């Protein structure tokens, strides 16, 4: 019977008198309740079939709610069914588990502490003659990876043949990644060799995963050898592969070898050509090693190659030079930047202010900041916030901070300042009995809809009330 036909049978008076009745009685049961009800009634041998028959839509919130209910039931059978529900949900057409959902499932089911759950589910599928496809195995392997269960992951891979499934490159890569993350590189390498015997070919992901794994262990020679094998395996090198090896070489402190690899990339060109990220990574390694001036030669090469540095590149240099107490060199670098690259003078000097603050050169940072304001340059939000916070908390110069903020505000750039700074300033002004300035700041906060933060509410309001500043309190 259609809804329109039912509505014609109800008198207008009844509808207007009870407007919510029809809506309430015909509201559909939420998907999560449908799945939960069917899961509770399911025979352990037909869970997947029962769930498929529900026909309700799936989303991450529904899946999360179901596995939470299974967890809080404190019943082993419920946990077992919850895990099967999670695997079933992961293979549905219009839904895909996120990394976050794998994390939630592992925590709820305590996969890392109870790895036998994985084996129990797979054995149950076997006994019940369930059809499990490659997609289902990938969900199970996702749980193994999140739970760091590398041996169970290998066991699952070996189990695929019993279900008539042939592991593909993605499946092998998933297990190889688990071995690499555990530092078991030789076993991961053997799996890659096995792929060829099974008629499955390694791809760029396979090689880059192994290269990173060897580099993480400091086995740079092994990583380099594997790198040379890649072309022979039909996997063309590109900037991603080179960058993985270059990063490992730099982390191992072999900077000269890193320069050689950079030169190789430059000579290869094309898809192997170094990017701004490649150059910046190598520059960062030189700066971290206290060799910032040498890193300037990389900047020359970068320019000659036609690759323009970005703000991260310049910030990396500024940080390295200031750490080595070469502030003059940092200023020269900024002068070199202006008008040459896409990085603005304001961005460069903002980075310099932040770096000087972080290396303990407060007076120099304040001078640079004030020169920026006089010169009409606009410091970014980080530079403003860092300096004002330092003035208030460490230097105890809250009135200077407030006056400096007024100068910043004239540039119409104050909106990017961290909202916490306003609460810190207001609390400091009240503590120092600068009531006129406190009142002005409170009004300003009200105009900008900036709320007084929790740690300062009680002390600020109490102080203002005691001073008779009820109008100021009302602004807050």
Residue 84 lies inside a defined structural domain of this protein: yes
Each residue's pLDDT tens digit, 451-467: 888 888 888 888 888 87
Average pLDDT over residues 400-405: 94
> Residue 415 has what pLDDT?
56
The fraction of the chain above a pLDDT of 90, given in percent, is 57
Residue 70 lies inside a defined structural domain of this protein: yes
Residue 326 lies inside a defined structural domain of this protein: no
Residue 114 lies inside a defined structural domain of this protein: yes
Q: Helical H runs in 198-238?
A: 204-216, 220-229
Rounded (10°) angle between helices 276-288 and 292-304:
170
Q: Match 């400096």 to its residue by tokens.
A: 404
Separation between Cα atoms, residue 187 and residue 179, nearest integer Å: 7
The pLDDT confidence band at residue 215, using thresholds 50, 70 and 90, is: very high
Contacts (Cβ under 8 Å, ≥6 apart) of 145? 102, 153, 174, 177, 178, 181
Across the chain, what does the average pLDDT equal? 86
Residue 430 lies inside a defined structural domain of this protein: no
Separation between Cα atoms, residue 242 and residue 273, nearest integer Å: 9
Each residue's pLDDT tens digit, 9-28: 333 433 344 444 333 334 45
Residue 270 lies inside a defined structural domain of this protein: no
**What domain range includes position 27?**
1-166
Average pLDDT over residues 159-179: 95
The C-alpha torsion from 399 through 400 and 404 to 409, rounded to 10°, is 0
Average pLDDT over residues 340-354: 89
| Number of separate domains in the chain | 1
Do the Cβ atoms of 378 and 412 come closer than 8 Å?
A: no
Each residue's pLDDT tens digit, 301-311: 999 999 989 99
**Radius of gyration over alpha carbons of the chain, in Å?**
31
Residue 29 lies inside a defined structural domain of this protein: yes
> Residue 122 has what pLDDT?
93
Predicted structure pTM score: 0.75
> Residue 10 has what pLDDT?
35
DSSP code per residue over 374-416: HTT----HHHHHHHHHHHHHTS--HHHHHHHHHHHHHTT-GGG
Q: 10 Å Cβ neighbour count for 29?
A: 10
Do the Cβ atoms of 217 and 183 come closer than 8 Å?
A: yes
Q: Match 């502030």 to its residue by tokens.
A: 327
> Residue 234 has what pLDDT?
67
> Residue 29 has what pLDDT?
58
Distances (CA, A) of 182 to 151, 178, 216, 223: 11, 6, 10, 16
* Angle, vertex CA 235, rays to CA 275 and CA 137, nearest 5: 105
Residue 142 lies inside a defined structural domain of this protein: yes
């Amino acid at each position: 019977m259609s809804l329109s036909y039912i509505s014609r049978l109800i008198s207008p008076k009844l509808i207007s008198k009870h407007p919510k009745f029809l809506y309430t009685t015909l509201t559909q049961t939420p998907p999560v309740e449908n799945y939960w009800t069917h899961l509770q009634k399911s025979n352990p041998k037909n869970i997947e079939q029962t769930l498929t028959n529900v026909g309700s839509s799936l989303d991450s919130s529904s899946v999360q709610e179901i596995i939470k209910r299974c967890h809080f039931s404190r019943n082993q059978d419920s946990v077992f069914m919850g895990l099967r529900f999670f695997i079933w949900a992961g293979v549905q057409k219009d839904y895909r588990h996120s990394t976050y959902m794998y994390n939630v499932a592992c925590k709820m089911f305590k996969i890392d502490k109870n790895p036998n759950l994985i084996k129990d589910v797979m054995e149950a599928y076997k006994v019940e003659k369930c059809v499990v496809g490659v997609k289902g195995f990938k969900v199970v392997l996702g749980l193994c990876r999140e739970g760091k269960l590398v041996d169970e992951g290998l066991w699952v891979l070996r189990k695929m043949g019993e279900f008539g499934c042939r592991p593909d490159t993605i499946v092998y890569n998933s297990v190889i990644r688990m071995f690499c993350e555990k530092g078991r590189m030789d076993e991961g390498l053997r799996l890659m060799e096995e792929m060829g015997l099974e008629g499955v070919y390694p791809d760029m992901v396979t090689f880059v995963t192994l290269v990173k794994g060897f580099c993480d262990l400091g086995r740079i020679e092994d990583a380099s050898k594997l790198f040379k094998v890649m072309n022979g395996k039909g996997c063309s090198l590109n900037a991603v592969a080179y960058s993985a090896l270059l990063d490992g070489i730099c982390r191992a402190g072999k900077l000269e070898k890193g320069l050689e690899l950079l030169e190789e990339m430059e000579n290869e060109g094309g898809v192997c050509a170094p990017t701004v990220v490649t150059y910046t990574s190598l520059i960062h390694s030189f700066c971290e090693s206290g060799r910032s001036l040498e890193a300037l030669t990389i900047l020359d090469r970068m320019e000659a190659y036609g690759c323009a540095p970005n703000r991260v590149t310049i910030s990396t240099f500024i940080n390295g030079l200031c750490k080595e107490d070469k502030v003059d060199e940092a200023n020269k670098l900024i002068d070199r930047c202006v008008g040459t690259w896409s990085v603005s003078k304001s961005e460069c000097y903002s980075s310099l202010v932040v770096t000087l603050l972080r290396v303990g050169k407060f007076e120099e940072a304040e001078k640079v900041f004030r020169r920026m304001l006089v010169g009409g340059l606009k410091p970014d939000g980080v530079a403003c916030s860092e300096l004002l916070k330092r003035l208030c908390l460490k230097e105890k110069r809250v009135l200077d901070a407030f006056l400096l903020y007024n100068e910043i505000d004239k540039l119409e750039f104050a909106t990017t300042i961290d909202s916490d700074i306003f609460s810190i300033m207001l609390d400091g002004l009240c503590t120092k009995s600068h009531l006129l300035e406190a009142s002005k700041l409170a009004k300003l906060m009200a105009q900008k809809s900036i709320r007084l933060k929790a740690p300062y509410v009680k002390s600020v309001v109490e102080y203002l009330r005691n001073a008779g500043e009820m109008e100021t309190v009302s602004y807050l």
